[in-house]
Amino acid sequence: MLFVEFRFFAFFAFVFGVHWTLRSNTARKAFLLACNHAFYACFFFGDPAAFLAHVLSAQWQELPDGWWFPFVLIASTCMDYAVGIGIEDSKRPASRCAWMVATIAVNIGVLCYFKYFNFFVTSVAGFLDWLGLPTSLHALEIILPYGVSFYTFQSMSYTIEVYRGNRPAERSFLNLAFFISFFPALVAGPIVRAIAFLPQTHAARRWADVDVRGALVLFLVGFVKKACVAETVAPSVDQFFAAPESYTALSAWIAVILYATQIFCDFSGYTDMAIAAARLLGYELTINFDFPYFATSVTDFWRRWHVSLSTWLRDYLYFSLGGNRGSKLFTYRNLMLTMLLGGLWHGANWTFVIWGALHGVALVVHREWAAFRQSSPGLTRFMGFVCVPLTFYWALFTWIFFRAPDFTSAASVLEAFVLWRSPGTASLDVRLLLLIAGCALIHWLNFRGVFSTWWRRIPAPAFAAAYGAASAVVLLFVPTTYKPFIYFQF
């Protein structure tokens, strides 16, 4: 059930109506918890009537693949509930540590099994094959459950915070289960921190506190990004990356820029809709994007792109490794490790590892550069002009590895993108750049704050009329079929 589908609107209308009709906070949370799991089950159960029929008649082999994945979420929640209380109730540091290690091992184990088992097996088999050694390793038929990377990190944030003593263990199972499975953020983030979300579950949400207008605008903006922009450029990107060597160098540039647009609009569009949906239910989620393509450096880029992941990695991985509390070399090692694992988090493929490594190298270089630049004010002024395009170029460069299915494709695109050399003659429609230029202009005006408040000042009926008209116009550009959100696969 995608946020841009009609059935989601029907689902959300029902959830919204019942949620605000219920009086008690516990009833609301219990209701939302049931809705969260129903929402998640929709991704796996297929037709609910047929699913129920097969279960009641014990025809297990007839059930759709991965039908039991929702139970992994439930098991994960139960474990973290027990671990949180176990950590808090432990008197000795060693037993607290044992609880912590156990939960990390299980959570990472689940992630490794679903996401990285086949990657590991095929990589080892490939390596052994390269060495000329016989091997009988086989990949398994494993389906990746939607959202496992997101909710695993969310639940780990809870246990780590309890372990560090930053928050007490949650004694209410309902609250914890609600937090881990909250449906707007369940399948593709943002990765909500326990420390930010759990306090919201303790007090009843008040309709008067809901910024309805802000949430509605955010939802429409997210909808446009995903349904109109990302879906429009996706076919051209797919077409190019299916056979990059047959396109001209100019087309390679167009395709990479289109992909940068697609991934931003797809993921930030999803996030906008998730934040808006949560806000309409009275809950605040973490900000995930802050105009990343206007970043002035790679360090700044990571403060603006997928913020909930980058801060998670910083707080729980980079700092745990020692952060920048040691020598320069020690800091850079930690940076590289964090970014390598961050790359791997996105997918079980060496291209993602390289993507993470490139960003790690860029962060190291930027640290050195920042130190050097401080001694040269003239250079700082000059860099003020080129830092944004340079960072954008670097982001485009790295997206090639993120999108390319393998290194051969990536090499073809890189040759055309960096050296303007390509044997191909086919070309993408240059007019697509006009669409991108239009989007970029609107994005820049938004970055400058042009659209930030005027719609808040107009009278409510005028806003309602404008919103209705805008919704009707937006629907003109919505394709009838959708691709799943890109980040669903992570």
Site residues for other proteins per CB under 8 A: 6, 47, 49-50, 52-54, 56-57, 59, 62, 228, 231-232, 235, 460-461, 463-469, 471-473, 475-481
Q: Cβ–Cβ contacts within 10 Å for residue 161, how many?
A: 20
Q: Which is nearer to other proteins, 50 or 371 (CB)?
A: 50
Closest CA to 408 of 234, 244, 246: 244
Measured distance CA(67)–CA(48) in Å, rounded: 11
Amino acid identity for residue 74 in this structure: I
443 is annotated as an active-site residue: no
CB of 3 to other proteins, least distance (A): 16
Q: Cβ–Cβ contacts within 10 Å for residue 275, how many?
A: 24
Give the active site residue among 37, 54, 306, 346.
Answer: 346
Q: Which is nearer to other proteins, 46 or 66 (CB)?
A: 46
CB of 50 to other proteins, least distance (A): 4
Establish how many alpha carbons lie within 13 A of residue 244's alpha carbon, considering only the half-sphere containing its beta carbon. Answer: 29
CB of 43 to other proteins, least distance (A): 16
CB of 445 to other proteins, least distance (A): 23
Q: Which is nearer to other proteins, 59 or 166 (CB)?
A: 59
Q: Cβ–Cβ contacts within 10 Å for residue 288, how many?
A: 25
Q: Cβ–Cβ contacts within 10 Å for residue 329, how many?
A: 8
Q: Report cis status (omega within 30 of 0) of the bond before 459.
A: no
Amino acid identity for residue 26 in this structure: T
Closest CA to 76 of 161, 190, 157: 157
Measured distance CA(487)–CA(264) in Å, rounded: 11
CB of 55 to other proteins, least distance (A): 9
Q: Which is nearer to other proteins, 52 or 97 (CB)?
A: 52
Measured distance CA(150)–CA(488) in Å, rounded: 10
Q: Which is nearer to other proteins, 57 or 453 (CB)?
A: 57
Give the active site residues: 346
